[in-house]
Structure 1
């Protein structure tokens, strides 16, 4: 059981992916398909994630990611960057990261119980994905569901579904309270994809 969860966690590390950006458009005029403006990309636990100009995160990479705009773009960037940061956190750092990026509840408690049972030695370079972009399956002022699209070294595609909720004027991960798989193989890029690859140039 513990070994099976450890393998699932490593797959999740490979599939949890990243996009951080910013937008200067007023929230009332934003569409969920409007791309965030990306300031730069940084490497977190071996996975490249984008940092936004105004949508967040507003803090540095050595603290749990926080400070995301109350927009679809901020929700997407929170889902991406916080998921990667949590999934790749070291055995020593994960409790602090979990407390900072995940909303309180059964999901966070379940994650903590499982994570405490395994040792994480880092990401496998052969398994590290490239973040392509994302789609937003659902968005409201208080919650969002983000599908992060990733490409792997064999050119295969997958999406990882992440939920975030708005708490204390910021987005946080709403971790699942069961072992339901949130990763889906893709045959092609979604037509509604918010493409982030161009922002690397």
Structure 2
């Protein structure tokens, strides 16, 4: 099971591991554990991701996701949507996606160097995870750490640690360095999970 889980995790987030502003709601009115209002779910690279009613993204699914609210909810939706969009981007599209969703810096340059060496032909439907929800372990006006919780076809669970930073009036991925550990196997859903499964229509 662990080997299957590890291969599945590679589909959604391992490319990240190797490596414009939205509607503003006063943060005093929101809690980290308040769920975002979800308008719909769309399929990106074979993986369903949530689109917020007011928290973003505000642009189309064929563009690099942008336009997130400056809130915990906007940070979480950016962490989910942008990481999936980047990890599943085609060989032709990834440079544009990377430039749009990732914060500039050495880690983004490292990601680009590694991604240029990889050819992708799509995702394996049996390996595609389902987004269950998320946890936020750290949040400020300028940065957030989000655990994107995923369920795989064999029933196993994992959390992908994803960092986003607030720059140029939007959330962007803060890609990990080469040694960062971003995937954690879970025995059960976290107690502080913000559950998104019920928002699917």
Unaligned runs of 5+ in 2: 1-5, 15-21
Bigger relative contact order, structure 1 or 2 (CA pairs below 8 A, ≥6 apart): 2
Partner in structure 1 of residue 82 of structure 2? 82
User: Could you say if the C-alpha distance between residues 99 and 187 of structure 1 is closer, same or farther in structure 2, counting changes exceeding 3 Å?
Assistant: same
Determine the structure 2 residue equivalent to 1:166: 166
CA-CA distance at 1:80 after TM superposition: 0.4
* Counterparts of 1:60 and 1:186, CA distance in 2: 33
1:1-40 to structure 2, matched below 5 A, reads 11-15=9-13, 26-40=26-40
Q: CA shift at 1:177, angstroms?
A: 2.0
Tell me how far 1:36 sits from its aligned partner. Answer: 0.1
- Residue deviations 1:60-110, cap 9 Å, x none? 000000000000000000000000000000000000000000000011000
* Contact map agreement 2:162 2:182 (CA 8 A) in 1: yes
1:4 matched to which residue of 2?
Answer: none
User: Structure 1 residues 114, 9: CA separation in 2 closer, same or farther (over 3 Å shift)?
Assistant: farther
Which residue of structure 2 aligns with residue 193 of structure 1? Answer: 193
Tell me the CA shift for residue 9 of structure 1. Answer: 9.2
**Does residue 1:72 correspond to 2:72, yes or no?**
yes
| SS at 1:126 equivalent | helix
Structure 1 position 136, deviation (Å): 0.2
Match of 1:149 in 2: 149
- For the residues of structure 1 that align with 2:118 and 2:9, how far apart are their CA atoms? 14
Unmatched segments (≥5 aa) in structure 1: 1-7, 17-21
Compute the TM-score of the two structures, normalised by the length of structure 2.
0.89
Q: Is the 8 A contact 1:9 1:87 kept in 2?
A: no
1:51 partnered with 2:56: no
**Aligned residues: CA RMSD:** 1.9
Task: Count residues in correspondence.
Answer: 189
Structure 1 residue 13 displacement after superposition: 2.7
Offset from partner CA, 1:120-174 (integer Å, 9 cap, x none): 1111111101100000010000000000001111111000000000001100000
SS across alignment from 1:155: coil
1:129 lines up with 2:164 in the alignment: no
